[in-house]
Structure 1
């Protein structure tokens, strides 16, 4: 598989991967269509200015797996007491036709290397049930994060 960096022209692909990932995780299609429309508007300028970056794995000319990355501001924390940023991994997706070939693991290695090159020593992600074993097997651990939806 060839590797290439995400580009602004990958907007539709990233949106499709994100929606498919959440659909496979059990979210309602109607909710996801709404999410994707808003995500597209959010993502477009970030792909252009590099605040959202990442990689695609290519099978010839066809993108078959992708990962999104961000550097987010975060106050110094016991996990990274001297840094005010952390890496964030999102939208890890492998096309069903190319699963069970180690592509998600390859994407995660690319992400970790990219973050290390940027001088980041701490990275987070939110795992789906499908992804959890992969991440745990690569040394990622559970955190104590909790969430609450406010209002509607």
Structure 2
């Protein structure tokens, strides 16, 4: 397996992995189609200006896993009192035929190293049920975050 930085040309790979991740988590197919169309438009400029970055793992020339990373503008907080940003992990996905080989674990370790390289002191993610044990095993814990849709 090889690991490389994400590139602009990975747009469709990232979209496919994100959609499949949510599909496997049981999300509605019609919602996924809408989400992916809007996500593609959102992602394109962020890949170009590198505000969305991350890594892909390949088997030969075939991409088999990926992780997305971002830096979020966030006020200093007790969890990161001297920093005005948080790292954000998203779109962690491993193709089904490659699961159970530690690829997601390796991607998460690479994310930690990249955040540390950029001076990030605190990172967050939202876990699906499938990823929760992996993240907990790497030291990630639940927070007090709550959420709700806003009627518009």
* Band the TM-score falls in, shorter-chain normalisation: over 0.9
The aligned residue for residue 87 of structure 1 is 87
The reply to whether residue 4 of structure 1 matches residue 8 of structure 2 is no
Residue 22 of structure 2 corresponds to which residue in structure 1? 22
2:118 is aligned with 1:118: yes
CA offset digits 1:25-66 (Å, max 9, x no partner):
000111000000000000000000000000001100000000
Q: Structure 1, unaligned stretches of length 5 or more?
A: none
Measure the CA separation in 2 of the matches of 1:84 and 1:71: 10
Matches within 5 A, 1:2-151: 2-151=2-151
**CA-CA distance at 1:97 after TM superposition:** 0.6
Tell me by how many angstroms 1:78 deviates. Answer: 0.3
Q: Deviations over 1:53-104 (max 9, x none)?
A: 0000110000000000001100000000010001000000000010000000
- Deviation of the 1:143 alpha carbon: 0.3
Which deviations, in whole Å up to 9, do the C-alpha atoms of 1:125-145 show, x marking residues without a partner?
000000000000000000000
Q: TM-score, normalised by structure 1?
A: 0.99
Secondary structure at the aligned position of 1:41 is classed as: helix
Runs (5+) with no aligned partner, structure 2: none
Q: In structure 1, how many angstroms separate the alpha carbons of the residues matched to 2:138 and 2:6?
A: 23
CA distance in 1, matches of 2:138, 2:147: 25
Structure 1 stretches of 4+ with a deviation exceeding 4 A read: none
- Give 3-state SS (helix, strand or coil) of 2:35's partner: helix
**Cα distance between partner residues in 2 of 1:53 and 1:41:** 16
Aligned residues: 152
